[in-house]
C-alpha cells in the first residue's frame, strides 16, 4: 500500500492499494477533503475444462430437480416441518446430526462438515426420505453454483439400474452420468464422467434401496461397503426396518458418518401446517379436522397423518370443494388409522384429475381425464410394472406386454400387405409403373433389403439394443453428429477413424471418378449404398446434450429419426436403384422403379423402428381399454399432478405404496426387478454341461434355480476334488444359440420384403420363413456333434479353463471378483451364461476375444441358466479367497 503525502496547500489524500487483498480499511487522523481508494480486483483464475464440465452438470441437475420439486409441491412458502434425529441403526454411533425438513440449509451444512460426507436417511413408508434427498440436492447444487467449489455435485440415482453382483459401483456411476449427460464438455478428448468420479467431485444420492428384492439389497449394501473403501461420500436412502434387517444379516456393512431418521409428524404441527395452507374461504370445513388433531393426538386420523405422504394425500384430495375434510373425524366410518390411509389413497386419483369446466377464454383448454378411467389406466400400468419386476415406467417397454408381443407378427403381415396394396395403386398411376422382376426380387424388394442392411449396419456400429431408444444428435449440426458417431461407436478404433475421417473424401472421390468415367453402375453403388450407409451412422448418433433426457424427448427423437430416414436415406436408395436400372437400358424418364424403391425403403424404416413397436403397443393396449390413446399426454398430466416422478427418461410412481395400492391386493407388490448391467463380448458357444434353465424373457419376478446333480454324475466329465484344487475335465458338446438373433432379424426383414413387395400371394415367397429356422437348427446340430475338450481348473492360486483350442488362466492375485455373467459376442447376446473375472489394475490383459466391458473377462461359458452346478460354486467359494460372488436368483443378469 502506498500513500502520497499532501503537499503545501493540498486538500486531499490519495491511497492506492496494489497487489493486496483488502478486507477492512481504517483511517486514523483527520481527513481533509476527499479520500480516493483504488482496489484492483484480484485476477480470477481461468476455469479448467473439468471445472467447466462440473459446473454445467450442476446447472443441468439444478434445472431438472427444480422442475421435479415444483411437480411435487415442494416449493411451498411454509413447508412441512419434518423432524430428523440421529439414528443408531447404522453400525457405530456416528456423528450426531439432527435437523428439520423446512430448514434444509443447516442439514446441508452439517452434511458437508462430515469427514467422509456419508449420510444415511432412514424412515418409514412415506416419511419424506426422497423429498429430503431432493431438497438437499437442490441446496447443494445452489451452493456449488455460487462458486463454492468444495461442494460436490449431487447426482440422484435409483439403485434399480445397478446390478451390484456384476458391475462395479464406480463403473455404474460413470456410465449413468455419461448416458444421461452426454453433452458435457470433453476433458482431454473424452467424457469427463470418469474424471469426476475418480476425483470425487460427485456425491451419489442413492434411492430405492428398500424397493429392491431382498437378495439385491444385500448385494448392493455389501458392494458399497467393499468398493467405496475408506473414502468417497454418498447419501443412501432406505426404510428403517429394511435397513435393520440388512445390518443384522450383513457381513460387509457400509460405514457411514451419520444416520438420520424421520420422526412421526406431531398432530399439532400437522394442524398448524394445514391451517397455513388451506384456502381461507374453506376454513369452516377444515375446522373439525384441525380441532381433532389438536385435541386428540392418538385418534385414528391423527395417527394416519403422521407421515408427509398422507398429509400430501389429504391436501390434494380435499383442496377443492365440495370435498369435506371434516368427514375424516367420523369414528364410525374411520375406526382405524389404516382405514383413513386407505380412504386417502382412494381419493388421490379423482382429486388429481378433477372434472372442471374449461375457462371461456382458453383457445386450447387442457385435456380432461375421467377419474374412473384414469384409475383403471394407472392400475394396469402398476400391475404391468409389477409383472415386469421394475419400478420404472418406460414407454418403450410397453411392447413387452403380452398383448403387443402376441400381435407383433400378425400386425406386421397385415401392415405389409396393406402397404403393398397402397403401393400398387400409387405405382399403377405412374406411366410404366407396377412391379417388375429385378434380380433376386422386385425393385421394391431390393430397396427393402438395402434399407434393412443399413439399419443392421448402424446397430452394429453403435452396438445398442434396438428396443432401447436414445436421444439422437441434431443432423443439422453435421460436424457435431459426426464427432458423436465416432466417439460412441462400438467398433474398433481403427475402423472408427477410417470411416469417420476417411469416409467423406472417399465417397466424394468415388462419386467424382464415376461421373468422369462415366460408370452408372459405380455411381449407383456410391449413391445408393455408400452414402446412405454413412448418413445412417450420422443420423443414429447419440445426442451431445447436457440436460438429461425426458420420456417425451426420447419419443420425439425416435419419431424424428424415422422421418429423417424416410426423407433423406430412402430417396438416396431409390436414386441408386434408378441409376442401376438406367444403366441396364431403362429410359431415363422412367421414374417408376425409383418411386417403388422409395416406397420399399420407407416401409422398412417405418415397420422395423422402435417407434412402430411403440405405436403397436399403445394402439393395442388402448383398444383393450388398458391405457388411453394419448398415453404420453396422460403420463405428463399425472406427473404434473404429483402422482409420478420423472428420472432419466422414465416415469416412476411417487411412492412405492401408491404403486402397490393402484396395483390392487391381487397384483404384484411392485418390487423392483433385476438391475441391468453391461454385457461383454465372449465366444459364441457354451458347453451343454451347465443348467438348462432358460431365463424368463418377459422379465418376471426372480425365481430360484432348480437343483442340479453333482458334476461327477454328468456323462463324459470327471471331477477331481482336493483340499486346494478342483478339476473338471472331459469331453463335451456345445449348444450354439447366438446365431438365432441374426436369423430372427433376417426372418423379420424377409417378412417385410415379402409382404411389402407384393409377393405375399405366392406360396414360394414364404419358404424362407421355414428355411431359416431349419438353417438355425442345422447350425446347432453341426456345432453340437463334435466332442471338444473341456477343462475347468480351480486352485487356491489360480483359475484356468480350456474349451477346444482356447485356453485362459488367471492368478487370483490379479483378480478382484469372479461371477457368472451373461455372455455376449461382438455386442450380441449369446443367450448363455459363463464364469467371468474382473481383473485388478495393471494385471495382464487376456486376448481380445475374451475382453469385455466394465473390466470383466470370460473364463468359460457354462450354459443357458445363470446358476452354476453346486460343486463348482462350492469350489469357487472355498478357493477364490472371498472373490466369488454367487448368483442369488436374479433373472436375466447382464441383459441390457
For the stretch 242-257, pLDDT in tens is: 888 887 766 566 788 8
Is residue 530 exposed (0-12), middle (13-18) or buried (19+ Cβ within 10 Å)? Answer: middle
What string of DSSP letters covers 780-806?
HHHHHSS-EEEEEEEESSEEEEEETTE
In a shared domain, residues 67 and 19? no
Stretch 808-828: mean pLDDT: 80
Question: Is residue 332 predicted with pLDDT exceeding 50?
Answer: yes
Where would I find the H helices in 359-428?
A: 371-387, 402-428
Stretch 500-519: mean pLDDT: 79
Q: Is the peptide bond before 344 cis (omega within 30 degrees of 0)?
A: no
Task: Output the pLDDT for position 258.
Answer: 85
**Rounded-to-5 percentages of helix, strand, coil across the chain:** 50, 15, 35
| Contact of 281 with 287, CB cutoff 8 Å | no
Q: Which residue has the higher pLDDT, 358 or 386?
A: 386
Contacts of 672 (CB under 8 A, 6+ apart): 160, 208, 211, 212, 213, 216, 389, 390, 391
Question: Is residue 694 predicted with pLDDT exceeding 50?
Answer: no
| CA–CA dist 448, 751 (Å, integer) | 10
Is residue 429 exposed (0-12), middle (13-18) or buried (19+ Cβ within 10 Å)? Answer: exposed
Q: What are the phi and psi torsion angles at 687 (to 5°)?
A: -65, 150
| CA–CA dist 287, 296 (Å, integer) | 14
Question: Is residue 379 predicted with pLDDT exceeding 90?
Answer: yes
Task: Output the pLDDT for position 716.
Answer: 64
Question: Is residue 892 predicted with pLDDT exceeding 50?
Answer: no
In a shared domain, residues 247 and 272? no
Three cell numbers written together for 478: 453435421
| Contact of 295 with 129, CB cutoff 8 Å | no
Q: Of the candidates 323, 352, 381, which is a domain's last residue?
A: 352
Q: Tell me which of 143-147, 464-468, 631-635 is least confident.
A: 464-468
Kindly state whether residue 348 falls inside one of the protein's structural domains.
yes
Question: Is residue 514 predicted with pLDDT exceeding 50?
Answer: yes
Three cell numbers written together for 300: 385414528
Q: Tell me which of 196-205, 228-237, 654-663 is least confident.
A: 228-237
In a shared domain, residues 13 and 29? yes
| CA–CA dist 824, 480 (Å, integer) | 30
| CA–CA dist 531, 75 (Å, integer) | 52
Kindly state whether residue 504 falls inside one of the protein's structural domains.
yes
Grid cell 481383473 in the structure block, residue: 839
Question: Is residue 572 predicted with pLDDT exceeding 80?
Answer: yes
In a shared domain, residues 39 and 67? no
In a shared domain, residues 5 and 126? no
Kindly state whether residue 673 falls inside one of the protein's structural domains.
no
Q: Tell me which of 4-18, 104-118, 294-308, 464-478 is least confident.
A: 4-18
Kindly state whether residue 334 falls inside one of the protein's structural domains.
yes
Task: Output the pLDDT for position 599.
Answer: 85
In a shared domain, residues 32 and 56? no
Q: Structurally, how many domains does the chain consist of?
A: 5
In a shared domain, residues 174 and 241? yes
Q: Of the candidates 352, 380, 414, which is a domain's last residue?
A: 352
Kindly state whether residue 157 falls inside one of the protein's structural domains.
yes
| CA–CA dist 153, 201 (Å, integer) | 6
Question: Is residue 41 predicted with pLDDT exceeding 60?
Answer: no
**pLDDT tens track for 187-216:** 887 888 988 988 889 999 998 888 887 777
Question: Is residue 440 predicted with pLDDT exceeding 60?
Answer: no
In a shared domain, residues 122 and 212? yes
Question: DSSP 3-state assignment of 483?
Answer: helix
Kindly state whether residue 57 falls inside one of the protein's structural domains.
yes
Res. 689 pLDDT band, cuts 50 70 90: very low
Stretch 106-131: mean pLDDT: 86
- Averaged pLDDT score across all residues of the chain: 77
| CA–CA dist 748, 409 (Å, integer) | 9
In a shared domain, residues 487 and 454? yes
Task: Output the pLDDT for position 528.
Answer: 84
Q: At what angle do helices 767-784 and 740-756 cross, to 10 degrees?
A: 170
pTM exceeds 0.85: no
Q: Tell me which of 58-62, 367-371, 446-450 is least confident.
A: 367-371
For 501, the domain range is 404-615
Task: Output the pLDDT for position 95.
Answer: 64
| CA–CA dist 410, 294 (Å, integer) | 64
**pLDDT tens track for 838-853:** 888 888 878 766 766 6
In a shared domain, residues 542 and 512? yes
In a shared domain, residues 180 and 58? yes
Kindly state whether residue 780 falls inside one of the protein's structural domains.
no
Task: Output the pLDDT for position 778.
Answer: 85
Contacts of 521 (CB under 8 A, 6+ apart): 579, 580, 583
Q: How far is CA 351 from CA 28, 369, 397, 634, 658, in A?
A: 70, 11, 28, 15, 14
Question: Is residue 673 predicted with pLDDT exceeding 90?
Answer: no
Contacts of 314 (CB under 8 A, 6+ apart): 274, 305, 325, 328, 344
Q: Which residue has the higher pLDDT, 681 or 82?
A: 82
| CA–CA dist 209, 528 (Å, integer) | 52
Task: Output the pLDDT for position 128.
Answer: 84
Q: Tell me which of 5-14, 477-486, 584-593, 636-645 is least confident.
A: 5-14
Q: Of the candidates 211, 233, 262, which is a domain's last residue?
A: 262
Stretch 447-472: mean pLDDT: 78
Q: How far is CA 263 from CA 260, 266, 297, 306, 308, in A?
A: 10, 9, 15, 9, 11
Kindly state whether residue 768 falls inside one of the protein's structural domains.
no
Read off the CATH number of the domain in which 58 is found.
Answer: 3.40.50.300
Task: Output the pLDDT for position 682.
Answer: 32
In a shared domain, residues 473 and 431? yes
Q: What are the phi and psi torsion angles at 600 (to 5°)?
A: -65, -45
Amino acid at each position: 500500500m502506498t500513500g502520497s503525502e499532501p503537499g503545501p496547500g493540498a486538500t486531499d489524500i490519495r491511497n492506492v492499494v496494489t497487489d493486496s487483498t483488502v478486507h477492512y480499511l481504517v483511517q486514523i487522523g483527520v481527513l481533509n477533503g476527499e479520500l480516493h481508494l483504488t482496489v484492483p480486483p484480484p485476477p480470477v483464475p481461468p476455469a479448467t475444462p473439468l471445472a467447466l464440465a462440473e459446473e454445467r452438470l450442476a446447472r443441468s441437475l439444478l434445472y431438472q430437480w427444480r422442475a421435479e420439486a415444483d411437480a411435487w409441491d415442494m416449493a411451498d412458502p411454509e413447508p412441512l416441518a419434518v423432524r430428523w434425529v440421529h439414528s443408531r441403526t447404522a453400525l457405530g454411533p456416528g456423528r450426531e446430526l439432527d435437523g428439520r425438513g423446512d430448514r434444509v440449509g443447516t442439514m446441508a451444512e452439517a452434511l458437508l462438515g462430515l469427514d467422509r460426507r456419508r449420510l444415511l436417511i432412514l424412515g418409514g413408508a412415506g416419511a419424506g426420505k426422497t423429498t429430503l434427498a431432493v431438497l438437499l440436492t437442490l441446496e447443494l447444487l445452489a451452493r456449488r453454483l455460487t462458486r463454492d467449489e468444495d461442494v460436490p455435485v449431487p447426482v440422484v440415482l435409483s439403485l434399480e439400474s445397478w446390478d451390484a453382483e456384476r458391475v462395479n459401483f464406480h463403473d455404474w456411476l460413470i456410465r449413468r452420468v455419461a448416458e444421461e449427460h452426454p453433452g458435457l464438455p470433453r476433458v482431454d478428448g473424452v467424457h469427463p464422467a470418469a474424471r469426476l468420479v475418480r476425483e470425487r467431485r460427485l456425491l451419489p444420492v442413492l434411492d430405492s434401496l428398500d424397493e429392491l428384492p431382498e437378495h439385491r439389497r444385500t448385494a448392493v449394501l455389501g458392494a458399497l461397503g467393499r468398493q467405496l473403501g475408506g473414502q468417497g461420500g454418498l447419501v443412501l436412502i432406505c426404510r428403517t426396518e429394511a435397513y435393520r434387517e440388512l445390518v443384522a444379516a450383513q457381513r460387509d456393512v457400509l460405514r457411514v458418518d451419520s444416520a438420520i431418521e424421520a420422526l412421526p409428524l406431531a398432530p399439532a404441527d400437522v394442524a398448524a401446517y394445514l391451517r397455513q395452507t388451506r384456502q381461507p374461504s374453506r376454513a369452516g370445513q377444515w375446522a373439525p379436522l384441525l380441532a381433532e388433531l389438536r385435541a386428540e393426538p392418538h385418534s385414528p386420523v391423527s395417527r394416519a397423518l403422521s407421515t408427509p405422504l398422507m398429509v400430501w394425500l389429504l391436501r390434494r384430495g380435499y383442496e377443492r370443494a365440495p370435498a369435506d375434510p371434516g368427514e375424516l373425524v367420523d369414528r364410525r366410518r374411520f375406526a382405524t388409522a389404516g382405514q383413513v390411509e386407505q380412504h386417502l389413497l382412494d381419493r388421490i386419483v379423482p382429486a388429481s384429475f378433477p372434472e372442471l369446466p374449461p375457462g371461456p377464454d382458453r383457445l386450447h383448454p387442457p385435456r380432461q381425464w375421467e377419474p374412473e378411467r384414469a384409475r383403471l389406466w394407472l392400475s394396469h400400468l402398476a400391475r404391468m410394472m409389477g409383472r415386469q419386476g421394475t419400478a420404472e415406467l418406460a414407454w418403450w417397454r410397453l411392447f413387452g406386454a403380452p398383448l403387443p408381443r402376441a400381435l407383433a407378427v400378425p400386425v406386421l403381415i397385415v401392415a405389409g400387405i396393406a402397404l403393398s396394396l397402397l403401393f400398387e395403386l400409387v405405382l399403377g398411376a405412374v406411366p410404366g409403373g407396377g412391379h417388375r422382376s429385378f434380380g433376386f426380387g422386385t425393385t421394391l424388394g431390393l430397396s427393402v433389403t438395402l434399407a434393412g442392411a443399413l439399419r443392421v449396419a448402424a446397430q452394429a456400429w453403435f452396438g445398442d439394443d434396438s428396443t432401447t431408444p436414445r436421444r439422437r444428435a441434431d443432423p443439422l449440426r453435421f460436424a457435431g453428429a459426426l464427432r458423436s458417431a465416432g466417439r460412441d461407436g462400438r467398433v474398433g478404433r481403427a475402423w472408427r477413424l477410417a470411416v469417420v475421417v476417411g469416409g467423406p473424401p472417399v465417397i466424394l472421390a468415388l462419386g467424382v471418378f464415376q461421373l468422369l468415367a462415366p460408370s452408372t453402375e459405380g455411381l449407383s453403388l456410391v449413391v445408393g449404398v455408400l452414402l446412405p450407409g454413412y448418413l445412417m451412422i450420422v443420423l443414429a448418433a447419440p445426442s451431445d446434450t447436457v440436460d438429461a433426457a425426458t420420456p417425451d424427448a426420447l419419443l420425439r427423437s425416435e419419431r424424428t429419426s424415422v422421418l429423417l430416414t424416410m426423407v433423406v436415406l430412402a430417396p438416396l436408395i431409390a436414386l441408386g436403384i434408378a441409376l442401376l436400372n438406367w444403366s441396364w437400358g431403362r429410359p431415363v424418364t422412367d421414374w417408376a422403379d425409383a418411386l417403388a424403391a422409395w416406397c420399399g425403403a420407407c416401409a422398412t424404416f417405418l415397420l422395423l423402428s422402435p417407434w412402430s413397436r411403440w405405436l403397436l403397443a399403445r394402439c393395442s393396449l388402448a383398444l383393450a381399454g388398458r391405457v388411453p390413446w394419448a398415453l404420453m399426454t396422460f403420463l405428463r398430466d399425472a406427473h404434473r399432478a404429483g402422482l409420478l416422478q420423472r428420472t432419466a427418461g422414465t416415469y416412476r410412481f411417487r411412492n412405492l405404496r401408491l404403486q402397490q395400492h393402484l396395483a390392487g391386493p391381487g397384483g404384484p407388490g411392485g418390487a423392483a426387478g433385476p438391475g441391468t448391467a453391461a454385457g461383454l463380448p465372449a465366444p459364441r458357444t457354451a458347453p451343454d454341461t451347465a443348467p438348462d434353465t432358460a431365463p424368463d424373457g418377459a422379465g418376471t419376478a426372480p425365481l430360484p434355480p432348480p437343483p442340479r446333480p453333482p458334476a461327477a454324475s454328468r456323462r463324459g466329465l470327471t471331477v477331481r476334488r482336493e483340499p486346494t484344487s478342483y478339476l473338471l475335465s472331459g469331453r463335451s458338446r456345445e449348444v450354439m444359440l447366438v446365431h438365432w438373433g441374426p436369423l430372427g432379424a433376417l426372418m423379420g426383414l424377409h417378412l417385410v420384403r415379402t409382404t411389402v413387395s407384393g409377393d405375399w400371394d405366392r406360396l414360394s415367397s414364404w419358404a424362407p420363413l421355414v428355411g431359416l429356422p431349419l438353417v438355425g437348427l442345422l447350425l446347432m446340430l453341426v456345432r453340437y456333434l463334435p466332442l471338444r475338450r473341456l477343462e475347468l481348473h480351480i486352485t487356491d492360486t489360480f483359475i484356468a479353463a480350456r474349451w477346444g483350442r482356447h485356453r485362459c488362466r488367471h492368478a487370483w492375485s490379479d483378480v478382484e471378483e469372479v461371477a457368472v455373467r451373461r455372455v455376449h459376442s461382438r455386442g450380441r447376446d449369446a443367450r448363455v451364461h459363463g464364469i467371468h473375472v474382473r481383473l485388478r489394475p495393471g494385471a495382464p490383459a487376456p486376448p481380445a476375444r475374451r475382453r469385455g466391458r466394465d473390466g470383466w473377462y470370460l473364463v468359460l461359458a457354462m450354459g443357458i441358466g445363470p446358476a452354476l452346478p453346486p460343486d463348482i460354486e462350492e469350489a469357487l467359494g472355498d478357493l477364490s479367497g472371498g472373490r466369488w460372488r454367487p448368483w442369488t436368483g436374479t433373472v436375466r443378469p447382464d441383459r441390457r
